[in-house]
Amino acid sequence: MIPREAHLHQQRGNVVLLTLMGLMLLGLAGMAALHRQLDEAVRLTGETRGGLLAWNQAASALAWAGTVNWPPAGEGWQCQSFPPAGLRGCMKAASRPGGVLLRGEGIRADSTPLFLYQLAAAGREGGRGQPVPLAGGRLDFCPEKTPQACDGEPLP
């Protein structure tokens, strides 16, 4: 026969063991939740970084497009690339008389294009040469009345 004190020690040992297992499960659940939260933060940070890179690429391309000596603007987009920096800028006649529309192109991480626009006056040499940017003319949306007026050929 087992003495009563030994039987109580066995029961206390089981309760301590169950309590420890419960605490370990709670800790494991908390760590799994933290892992999911950190994964989401890393994904969101990557998307934000990709967006900022595309924005900066488009802004650089737009600034560069403002320094190019363009031929007279036509109805369609005229595009030029600056391969060392991976920039691509475009120009076309704007709907306003004597105006041109510049476009800088960036590429997001998912390979979709990001465009920034700049309204400018045509070059001083009969529409040739460097366009003269208009104050407050830099936009992140198409300034033409119809969005189709800003559609261009897809990026290479």
Q: What is the pLDDT of residue 17?
A: 87
Q: What is the pLDDT of residue 156?
A: 46
Q: Is the pTM of this model over 0.85?
A: no
Q: Could you tell me the residue ranges of all domains in the chain?
A: 58-150
Alpha carbon distance 125, 132 (integer Å): 12
Average pLDDT over residues 53-67: 91
Q: What is the pLDDT of residues 65-83, one digit of tens each?
A: 888 888 887 778 888 888 8
Alpha carbon distance 57, 65 (integer Å): 12
Alpha carbon distance 42, 94 (integer Å): 41
Q: What is the pLDDT of residues 91-137, one digit of tens each?
A: 888 887 878 889 999 988 888 888 999 988 887 665 567 888 888 77
Q: What is the pLDDT of residue 6?
A: 54
Q: What is the pLDDT of residue 142?
A: 79
CA distances (Å), origin 80, targets 26, 38, 70? 60, 42, 9
Fill in the DSSP letter of residue 70: B
Beta bridge partners of 107: 113
Identify the H or E element spanning 99: strand 99-107
Tell me the helix, strand and coil percentages in the chain, rounded to 5: 45, 30, 25
> What number of residues does the chain have?
156
Q: What is the pLDDT of residues 4-40, one digit of tens each?
A: 555 555 556 688 888 899 999 999 999 999 999 999 9
What single-letter amino acid sits at 71? P
